[in-house]
Structure 1
């Protein structure tokens, strides 16, 4: 079953899609919060959400403020991922969700790390994809200048070509084209402010605060991250809490695993099951 809600948060409406298996009682299901990438929306999880729900989850897919069907933030586009994280907890509170799993990619992966390093708001488990604990690798000053000229007619083409360049070679050309075409729907101003958040967000000194089982994922063909840095974050978490974190390197995959990997829901279900079981750390390549 798919349910759509508009929720009033901080003076603006936020859109959330909720997917549950047929003939189930949502209150008895583990909840998975799915977080999209910079400039995009919950549509990135369109193939995933229903498929994951059939494994017995309630799947919540929000559009961050100014993305997809959510209204923009009341004052200005958001440039801080911690503000997005605050907004997400307000959404969860309105939905009466207390201890969710979180899975996110890119800025959604960084948001997953942000939420996982807030022990006062515990998670059941976290899967952070394509995100480093350190600030993201972008030219923040350049992005700030770009905000003065976001209406360039070439921006859609840049998004299309940039998406193609960020997809792994294991992905068929036809699927890569669809992913890149869908990504062209972004708002240039929102994309730029999201990337400023990506380039300034840093939880390196808070990795010891992670208290939930966590799995960090990197595509070996992702041009936006250094996979070694992702593995280093896993090591740092395990230094403080042995066995709490694990790492997977996805061969032939780029920046968008949930869109690139065949039957990603089955893979995510495996990871979520391992988090539930408190599995020991294991590097997979």
Structure 2
């Protein structure tokens, strides 16, 4: 079922992995990080399907194999959340779980605010409700002028290595960083503007779906206390700090599919009959 669907007037590339002979399999929508694509979930998807999930992995507008957003690069994570709800309608997702990382984690929180009634569970990784305006949106907008410089690719690779956890095997770390070099710098900078300006602090108590915030202890992008605070503001939410892990748990941790499966099962236990 992998291919293109039309969302908001542009073609979006979506991996849609179905469980053979089980049209009622629970669905999980997996969201990538800034500037990246659904390829980040390539090692996780097979395990989730084997565990009995329908796994839907989109490339956000302007990322991976999706066409650009009609109005240009997106710098508002709320716009991505609205786009994903339209994509869910286009792919027949009525009730579903969401797992996202970095901007994907923040978008997952935004979806929980907008559409808790549609979500069976949310796992928001490497995300909080408000970063305190870090990094500087002014600096990011200024950098858009020269992001095509060759050094940008090197900065992306070295920056990725810097935010990986100490438990990440060196060979895996080099592969993650090499994959991250592929991103479009204009798109990724716009994503980071969205990251720095996205503020859900006042809206967190509105979330009613089961939710789990996850942060790596070695994540230089996040303040663990801010993540814990966000968890405390969401009724019934859980928070896990992963020792030795950085900003990309699903890429850094071997066997991550089993861990995510466990979190999703814990979140949905006792709610499926509701």
Q: TM-score, normalised by structure 2?
A: 0.96
Query: Which whole-Å CA distance do the structure 2 matches of 1:200 and 1:249 have between them?
Result: 24
Aligned to 2:3: 5
Structure 1 position 24, deviation (Å): 2.5
Structure 1 position 189, deviation (Å): 0.1
Query: Which whole-Å CA distance do the structure 2 matches of 1:218 and 1:24 have between them?
Result: 36
Matched, 1:125 2:117: no
1:58-97 residue pairs with structure 2 within 5 A?
58-97=54-93
Q: Runs in 1 of length 4+ with deviation above 6 angstroms?
A: none
Structure 2: which 5+ residue stretches go unaligned?
Answer: none
Query: Which whole-Å CA distance do the structure 2 matches of 1:181 and 1:10 have between them?
Result: 32
Query: Which whole-Å CA distance do the structure 1 matches of 2:117 and 2:74 have between them?
Result: 22
1:59-208 residue pairs with structure 2 within 5 A?
59-119=55-115, 121-135=117-131, 137-208=134-205
Query: Which whole-Å CA distance do the structure 1 matches of 2:108 and 2:72 have between them?
Result: 23
Matched, 1:17 2:15: yes
Structure 1 position 184, deviation (Å): 0.6
Verify the 8 A CA contact 1:119 1:211 in the aligned structure 2: no
Picking from 33, 56, 66, the partner of 1:37 is 33
| Matched residue SS, 2:114 | coil
| Matched residue SS, 2:118 | coil
CA offsets 1:21-69 (integer angstroms, 9 cap, x no match): 3x322x3110000000000000000000111110000000000000000
Structure 1: which 5+ residue stretches go unaligned?
Answer: 280-285
Q: TM-score, normalised by structure 1?
A: 0.92
Verify the 8 A CA contact 1:122 1:211 in the aligned structure 2: no
Picking from 243, 268, 273, the partner of 1:276 is 268
Query: Which whole-Å CA distance do the structure 1 matches of 2:81 and 2:181 have between them?
Result: 25
Query: Which whole-Å CA distance do the structure 2 matches of 1:111 and 1:146 have between them?
Result: 24
Picking from 218, 238, 245, the partner of 1:221 is 218
The alignment of Structure 1 onto Structure 2 pairs a total of residues equal to: 270
Verify the 8 A CA contact 2:28 2:53 in the aligned structure 1: yes
- Which deviates more, 117-126 or 260-269? 117-126
Structure 1 position 20, deviation (Å): 2.4
Query: Which whole-Å CA distance do the structure 1 matches of 2:254 and 2:150 have between them?
Result: 33
Query: Which whole-Å CA distance do the structure 2 matches of 1:120 and 1:160 have between them?
Result: 36
Matched, 1:248 2:246: no
Verify the 8 A CA contact 1:137 1:225 in the aligned structure 2: no
Query: Which whole-Å CA distance do the structure 2 matches of 1:124 and 1:117 have between them?
Result: 13
Structure 1 position 91, deviation (Å): 0.6
CA offsets 1:134-185 (integer angstroms, 9 cap, x no match): 1362111000011111210111111110000010010110100000001111
- Which deviates more, 148-157 or 188-197? 148-157
